[in-house]
Structure 1
Amino acid sequence: MSGPFKVAVYLYTNADILDFSGPVEVYSTRPFDGVGPFTVTTFAHHTPIKTDSGALEYNPNTTFAEIESKIEDYDILVIPGAAFDVIMNMIKSEEGKQLSALLNKFAASKPREETGKRVLQSVCSGSILVAASGLLANRTATTHHLGLDMLKQVADEAAGGQSNINVVRKRWVDAGTTDAGVRIVLAGGVSSGIDTSLWVVEQVAGKQAADWAAEIAEFERRDAAWGVEA
């Protein structure tokens, strides 16, 4: 196993709590007697970040500009979702345009020699933000089951016509790699982000690390086929 793998998690106002806290929990798991295979950094355009429920506020580790300037140093980039109106407003905003540029920059960056792996991971409607960047054309993709039509619409709009996206309803989808060798992995709704993160851990750090993270979280892993094809 190579590593440590550096994880960057994007936070934004009204993002769903479990969409980002689930992956952070998984990637933060470490052995009792040593360091874990991942380091996690949260970043945002603003601080603090207020959640949709109003129950919590978060202070991310660093700024969007700081991560953008060195995104090639990170191995895993996590994009959480939110309510669909929040997502659409994000896409139209200046922050959304900056995020789209960051996603494309990350997807075009070859994996670091130290790790040999690079993963773009979305959770829930976060895949719609990925679609808005144009990265899901000609790929199989998923999102929260209530947003499957929106996912296709946004992907088509980003392509300026037909994106040829294949939208399915699954817990997660391995959408393949970019020309640079960056794997795109898309989770379905909310808790699917935990299943997806454990799967990513297994792919980059090995089954033992993934099983340990699931054991510590007392989480019963489910596979991608759980759900109904759309």
Structure 2
Amino acid sequence: MASTLKVGIFIYAGADIMDFSGPVEVYSTRPPPGTPQVFSVETFAHTNPVGGGDSAALVYVPGASFAEVEQRLGTYDILVVPGAHPDVLAKFITSEEGRATLALLRRFAALPPREEARWRILQSVCSGSVILGAAGVLAGRRATTHHTCYDMLKEYADGAAGGDSGISVVKKRWVDGGETEAGVRIVNAGGVSSGIDASLWIAEMVGGEEVFRFTEKIMEFERRGEGQAWGFAPV
């Protein structure tokens, strides 16, 4: 890989903590000694701080504002979208901030990879794929989500398409949904901790096996395979 990949991790009030902190841990782990840095991580949000009130378990100060990321969207190689409780998602998606987020995701999915990076990836974790579905970027693709949200994902993807979106919701630990016409790869992780597995798979895909194995060892986390969805035997 010729260039460090810039990772933007979106956070919002009510988002599941492990949905975004798991990928943050993977992408911010230093590579083996003497190996170039693979990822550079930055969180961003509509508000500063994020949390408080009903979302006071942890209060976060994002690294960048949503407006700043909008302005320099083409400099990001990976965007990560976490999920939340279905009630939180339904309220967020229909809000002004939610509509702006859907527009950002559509723009990102249409941006070709930077030549020096060679990769551009849109990644969701858990029910974060419902946000991608609402943005219309999962039409005609295989996708997964938290096991309680399979029907919700189909509903929102179809709603964005104005009919049958052609989405295939599968019971997987994580799913590589293929590339958009612009060459943006879409990856969905299943529920919560699956975001770590998907992020480690991406780390191997773009950084190589040595980086993946080193990160897995430092985290003391054994990556599970794509077929190991929650509550289902491996396939």
Alignment of 1:2 with 2:16, yes or no, is no
Partner amino acid, structure 2, of 1:37? V
CA distance in structure 1 between the partners assigned to 2:116 and 2:22 by the alignment: 26
Alignment of 1:88 with 2:90, yes or no, is yes
Partner amino acid, structure 1, of 2:9? V
Q: Higher mean Cα deviation, 220-229 or 172-181?
A: 220-229
Partner of 2:43: 42
**Following superposition of structure 1 onto structure 2, how do residues 12-31 of structure 1 map, counting pairs within 5 Å?**
12-31=12-31
CA distance in structure 2 between the partners assigned to 1:72 and 1:157 by the alignment: 28
Other structure's SS at 2:119 match: coil
Matched-pair contact (CA < 8 Å) for 1:9–1:79: yes
Alignment of 1:188 with 2:160, yes or no, is no
Work out which of the residue numbers 219, 223, 228 in structure 1 matches 2:221: 219
Alignment of 1:146 with 2:168, yes or no, is no
CA distance in structure 2 between the partners assigned to 1:32 and 1:199 by the alignment: 17
Work out which of the residue numbers 78, 81, 84 in structure 1 matches 2:80: 78
Partner amino acid, structure 2, of 1:6? K
Q: TM-score, normalised by structure 2?
A: 0.94
Q: TM-score, normalised by structure 1?
A: 0.96
Root-mean-square deviation over aligned CA pairs: 1.4
Kindly state the Cα deviation for residue 207 of structure 1 after the two structures are TM-superposed: 1.2
Matched-pair contact (CA < 8 Å) for 2:177–2:186: yes
Partner amino acid, structure 2, of 1:189? G
- The count of aligned residue pairs is 229
Kindly state the Cα deviation for residue 36 of structure 1 after the two structures are TM-superposed: 2.4
Identity level (%): 57
Work out which of the residue numbers 164, 167, 172 in structure 2 matches 1:165: 167
Other structure's SS at 2:187 match: strand
Partner amino acid, structure 2, of 1:3? S
Other structure's SS at 2:40 match: strand
CA distance in structure 2 between the partners assigned to 1:31 and 1:225 by the alignment: 27
Partner amino acid, structure 2, of 1:90? F
CA distance in structure 1 between the partners assigned to 2:58 and 2:99 by the alignment: 26
Q: Deviations over 1:173-207 (max 9, x none)?
A: 10110000000000000000000000011111111
CA distance in structure 1 between the partners assigned to 2:221 and 2:2 by the alignment: 25
Matched-pair contact (CA < 8 Å) for 1:7–1:39: yes
CA distance in structure 2 between the partners assigned to 1:59 and 1:167 by the alignment: 34
Matched-pair contact (CA < 8 Å) for 1:29–1:36: no
Partner of 2:99: 97
Kindly state the Cα deviation for residue 76 of structure 1 after the two structures are TM-superposed: 0.3
Work out which of the residue numbers 177, 180, 187 in structure 2 matches 1:178: 180
Kindly state the Cα deviation for residue 56 of structure 1 after the two structures are TM-superposed: 1.1
CA distance in structure 2 between the partners assigned to 1:169 and 1:142 by the alignment: 6
Q: Deviations over 1:21-66 (max 9, x none)?
A: 0000000011364552110010000011117663211100010000
CA distance in structure 2 between the partners assigned to 1:42 and 1:163 by the alignment: 30
Q: Higher mean Cα deviation, 171-180 or 42-51?
A: 42-51
Structure 1 unaligned blocks of 5 or more: none
CA distance in structure 1 between the partners assigned to 2:71 and 2:81 by the alignment: 18
Structure 2 unaligned blocks of 5 or more: none
Other structure's SS at 1:54 match: strand
Kindly state the Cα deviation for residue 214 of structure 1 after the two structures are TM-superposed: 0.8
Matched-pair contact (CA < 8 Å) for 1:2–1:205: no
Partner of 2:211: 209
CA distance in structure 2 between the partners assigned to 1:121 and 1:96 by the alignment: 17
Matched-pair contact (CA < 8 Å) for 1:171–1:192: yes
